[in-house]
Amino acid sequence: MSENVYYWQKVIGSEPLTIDIRKLKEAAEDSFKNEKSDSYKQKLVYDLLEAVRNNDQREFFYILLKAINQPKDNFKELWSRLKENYDLMPEQAFVNFAYSIIIGIMATYSGGE
């Protein structure tokens, strides 16, 4: 049985531009699962949501890159996903892209454990 694949795609000329938002969410989740502080992650999510609400891609990426600028192996997959998608991401895909990352971070909350 095949699994649902969630992605954003737009065809420009004969070139399809595709962003696999499920893999992006999973990369964010894997990156932040070892971060211990839920309050840190909640503040990060709040700041990222504010940037999305203002449709400010520049601020969103500034906040996100500042948060993952750590020499830890757990951020390498997210760095790779950002590198492969950042250049081709048109403005129309920003909200889906951003929410995928935010949901991935939120999935790592410990729930008061």
Using one digit for the tens of pLDDT, what is the confidence trace for 6-28?
A: 555 555 566 666 677 888 899 99
* Confidence band of 94 (pLDDT split at 50, 70, 90): confident
Longest dimension (CA), the chain: 51
Rounded-to-integer distance, Cα 89 and Cα 10, Å? 10
Break the chain into its structural domains and give their ranges: 7-106
Model pTM?
Answer: 0.80
Read off the pLDDT of residues 45-80 as tens digits, 9 standing for 90 and up: 999 999 999 989 889 999 999 998 877 767 888 888
Q: Give the per-residue pLDDT at 82.
A: 79
3-state SS track over the chain: CCCCCCEEEEEECCEEEEEEHHHHHHHHHHHHCCCCCHHHHHHHHHHHHHHHHCCCHHHHHHHHHHHHCCCCHHHHHHHHHHHHHHCCCCHHHHHHHHHHHHHHHHCCCCCCC
Q: Give the per-residue pLDDT at 80.
A: 82
